[in-house]
Amino acid sequence: MSTTPSAELTLRQLFDQLAAALGPSGWWPADSPAEILVGAVLVQNTNWQNVAKSLANLRAATAFSPQRLADLPLDQLQQLIRPSGFFRHKSQALHSLFAWLQAQDATYADIGQRPPHQLRQSLLALPGIGPETADAMRLYVFNQPTFIADHYSRRLFSWLGADYRTYAQLKAVTQAVDNWSVADAQELHGLIDNFGKTAKTPADFNASFLAGTQLRL
Are 54 and 132 within one domain? yes
Range of the domain at 87: 33-140
Are 39 and 102 within one domain? yes
Are 17 and 96 within one domain? no
Q: What would the pLDDT profile of 34-82 be if each residue is shown by its tens digit?
A: 999 999 999 999 999 999 999 999 999 999 999 999 999 999 999 999 9
Q: What would the pLDDT profile of 183-196 be if each residue is shown by its tens digit?
A: 999 999 999 999 99
Last residue of a domain, one of 140, 168, 203: 140
Name the pLDDT band for 33 (thresholds 50, 70, 90). very high
What's the pLDDT at 2? Answer: 37
d(CA 59, CA 80): 10
- Assigned domain for 1 exists: no
Last residue of a domain, one of 140, 169, 201: 140
> What predicted TM-score, i.e. pTM, was given to this entire model?
0.93
Q: What is the CATH number of the domain that holds 54?
A: 1.10.340.30
What's the pLDDT at 5? Answer: 52
Are 17 and 103 within one domain? no
Provide the number of structural domains found in the chain.
Answer: 2
- The average confidence (pLDDT) of the chain is 95
Name the pLDDT band for 1 (thresholds 50, 70, 90). very low
- Assigned domain for 2 exists: no
- Assigned domain for 84 exists: yes
What's the pLDDT at 3? Answer: 44
Q: Which residues contact 53 (CB under 8 A, 6 or more apart)?
A: 83, 84
Last residue of a domain, one of 140, 175, 204: 140
Are 57 and 97 within one domain? yes
Q: What would the pLDDT profile of 80-132 be if each residue is shown by its tens digit?
A: 999 999 999 999 999 999 999 999 999 999 999 999 999 999 999 999 999 99
